[in-house]
Structure 1
Amino acid sequence: MGDDNLMLKIRMLLLAWFHFRLYHEKGLPLIVKRFSYKDIKKATDGFKRIINNSSQGTSYKAKFQNGSVATVKEVKLPDEDDDSFIREVQLLGRLHHRHILAVCGYSTGSKRFLVFENMENGSLKEHLSDPLRTPLNWRTRLQIAIGIAAAVEYLHFFCDPPIHQVSLSSSSILLDENLIPKISDISLFNASGNQITSLPTSSHCSKECAVEGCKNIIFQLGLVILELITGQSAEKGGVDLVQWVQESRFPGSIHKMIDPDLGNSYDQRELKGLLSVARLCIRCVDRQSICTPQILWYLQKKIGITRRSRPS
């Protein structure tokens, strides 16, 4: 236990050092590219290539003149002026992590759009629930859990100010061509702290908001881990999964809850380690007893997988 505490302290000191270098030595990253409305319209074939249509805006598949493929999302911000929107978009350029969906550009005018990198393999939810997709193997699921935990650690400790308003679910975790996971839903807030819509950017909120947001995202991470293990959806509150993992006798029912798509191709020790981390995350909703560096540390220690997920 003493060695674990020492390693955690060392990790926290390293995080503080990396944070200082990132924001005091490297400066701000490059400005996000601006597209014209005409560029967006042409790339989306006159807004005909619809991927998703929701109250928060329509998403389109886009192919630009240089051959690059991207996802374009309409942004509905009726009370936000262009200058404020552009300032928020530029904050997007400061989010740089392997497991966070990158913004490639934006467009203003009568309509506003954000341009994101293309994610060939859709959402984690589709891979867990669609019988026509090839099931994710156990090793890939472990890598997804660790990758998302690394992204959360980055948002909490490498961003200035720290970002805590994140909607983390199997629907908002997207997978690229190599099944690398990326968080796609970080809330957009205006300077007064009022949520406008749901898009990746920095946020401005009170200390109380940050604490609650931190607890909430850790809880959501626990639900995502449970989904990776069981293959069951937790998007409607995850009540059943939460009750199951909190039961004192739940170890006896683990074999009944494992995703059938996994068969017997998983490691029992790794499974127990993953479940113990999920339980710690779920308990965080009542009181914050764990922080994100601890989650990543526990995952790497209990499962035996390491990943270099530092900002570049």
Structure 2
Amino acid sequence: MALSSSPRLARFLRLSLSSPQLWLLLRIYIGIRDAAPSLAPPALALWIIPDQYGKSPVVKKYKNKEIERATNGFSMVIKTGPDGTTYKAQFENGLVCDVKRAKSSEQRKDDFLKEVQLLGRLHHRHVVRLLGFSDEVNRFLVFDHMENGSLMECLHDPLRSPLSWSIRLKIAIDVAAALEYLYYFCDPPLFHVSVNTKCVMLDADYTAKLSDVGLLNDNNSNFTSASCSRENIEQSRKELVFQYGVLILELVTGQSLSGEKELVRWVQASGFHSSLHNMVDADLGNTYNSKELHSLLVAARLCTKSGNDSFVSVPLVHRYLQKRLTS
């Protein structure tokens, strides 16, 4: 319908467009619209790959020689695992980092660079931050340095001081927050190959951060595909929730993952409440809070309960723990 065919509409528009308030609202709207892409969570643009890798102001590209110098000739080994070796590094500008060296070079360079772009766009307080990479003969990923190492080391190294009860509570909430971000706020969803004490890292303040983050698709080693079937996502979420429940049990009891089945059987038993205090890590003594202990174990019980109708979501568990442990 043309404006000329509706005198009332034309008159309304003339009056409206002459209003200073309307112009102000219009300018505000345009400003918000133009700023919207930069306000979106970084993970929502994971697959917008730039033309030149390493040009991001966040992720720096290093030369192999720089990595070698920073690690003192690869002599400062932090840990060695199936997926590679991690070194402590100090660069010439004083920056201290953890450098992970890929064990296998089978991954295509394009896939490696997509992985770099993926990890570089993750920004969350409880996810280990990627600072840089090197894609020459040897491939490296450079991460924030985690001063207190892994949760596994802090729980099971006899030479370390035991983690306090308050720190254990904080770690449980921190990990839940990270998992919620990766699974429910990233598109495509991201996942952990395994949620356990080895991949929970602790900084100088014992803030927990998840490491070894990957892309959820039909082939975990293929970063070129972003296709995620609903079945794969749901199954992976269930596995993640179960593993998180086991992590809580390990925080409470101080027992290693080798006793996972026994811990799950215990927390699922109808009379587990009567033996709560017997299962608490002896290193804690009487420093724990009974109500907080009960809340943690209720969460672990929900997470490790078997059956198709028993699945609880990470956001639900996260909110439950926040309400019970921080109020």
The two structures have a TM-score, normalised by structure 1, of 0.82
The question of whether the paired residues in 1 share the 8 Å contact of 2:43 and 2:122 is answered with no
Q: Which residue of 1 is the match for residue 245 of structure 2?
A: 222
The 5 A counterparts of 1:214-293 are: 214-234=237-257, 236=258, 238-283=260-305, 286-287=308-309, 289-293=311-315
Q: CA 1:203–1:242 in structure 2 vs 1: closer, same or farther (change >3 Å)?
A: farther
Equivalent residue for 1:80?
Answer: 107
**How many equivalent residue pairs?**
282
Shift, 1:76, TM fit: 3.8
CA contact (8 A) 1:99 1:181 kept: yes
Residue 194 (structure 1) shift? 2.2
Q: Following the alignment from structure 2 to structure 1, what is the Cα–Cα distance between the partners of residues 211 and 76?
A: 20
The corresponding residue for 2:218 is 193
1:48 corresponding residue in structure 2: 75
Give the one of 143, 165, 184 matched to 1:138. 165
Aligned match for 2:40, one of 19, 22, 32 = 22
Cα pair 1:30 1:93 within 8 Å, conserved: no
Where do 4+ consecutive residues of structure 1 move more than 3 Å? 18-21, 23-31, 76-79, 202-205, 284-288
Displacement of 1:238 in angstroms is 0.9
Q: Aligned-pair distance for 1:299?
A: 0.5
Larger Rg: 2
**CA pair 84-185 structure 1, distance change in 2 beyond 3 A:** closer
Change in 2 beyond 3 A, CA 1:292/1:204: same
Partners of 2:192 and 2:212 within 8 A in 1: no
**2:143 is aligned with 1:120:** no
RMSD over aligned CA atoms reads 2.8
* 5+ long unaligned stretches in structure 1: 1-17, 307-312
Q: Which amino acid aligns with 2:232?
A: C
CA 1:102–1:232 in structure 2 vs 1: closer, same or farther (change >3 Å)?
same
Q: With a CA cutoff of 8 Å and minimum separation of 6, indicate the structure with the bigger relative contact order.
A: 1
Match of 1:13 in 2: none
Alpha-carbon displacement from aligned partner over 1:91-112 (angstroms, at most 9, x marks no partner): 1112111111111111012111
Give % identity: 46
2:198 matched residue in structure 1:
171
Counterpart in the other structure of 2:126: 99
Deviation at 1:23, TM superposition (A): 4.1
Say if 2:133 is the partner of 1:111: no
Out of 175, 179, 183, the position equivalent to 1:156 is 183
Which amino acid in 2 is paired with 1:273?
Answer: S
**Residues 96 and 145 in structure 2, CA contact (< 8 A), matched pair in contact too:** yes
Matched to 2:97, the amino acid is A
Rate the CA distance shift 1:284–1:164 in 2: closer, same or farther, 3 A: farther
Hey, what's the Cα distance between the residues in 1 that align with 2:160 and 2:72?
A: 28
Give per-residue Cα distances to partners, 1:136-185, cap 9 Å, x unaligned: 11111111101110111111121111113442111111111001111112
Q: 1:143 to 1:23 in 2, by over 3 A?
A: closer
The answer on whether the counterparts of 1:100 and 1:184 sit within 8 Å (CA) in structure 2 is yes
Contact 2:79 2:85 in 1 (8 A): yes
Q: Relative to structure 1, is the Cα distance of residues 25 and 59 closer, same or farther in structure 2, using a 3 angstrom cutoff?
A: closer
Cα distance in 2 between the residues matched to 1:216 and 1:108: 33
**Distance (Å, rounded) in 1 between the aligned partners of 2:41 and 2:202:** 29
Structure 1 residue 300, shift from structure 2 partner: 1.6
1:107–1:114: 8 Å Cα contact kept in structure 2? Answer: yes
Counterpart secondary structure, 1:60:
strand
Counterparts in 2 of 1:211 and 1:247: CA distance versus 1, 3 Å: same
The one-letter code of the counterpart of 1:193 is D
Instruction: String of CA shifts for 1:13-48, please: whole Å, max 9, x gaps.
Output: xxxxx9995349996785521111111111111112
1:302 shift after superposition:
2.2
Give the AA of the match of 2:230: K
CA distance in structure 1 between the aligned counterparts of 2:318 and 2:132, rounded to whole angstroms: 31
Change in Cα spacing, 1:109 to 1:284, as seen in structure 2 (3 Å) is: farther
Q: Which is richer in helix?
A: 2
Which runs of 5 or more structure 2 residues have no equivalent in the other structure?
1-35, 47-55
For residues 163 and 63 of structure 2, what CA distance do their matches in structure 1 show? 39
Name the structure 2 match of 1:4. none
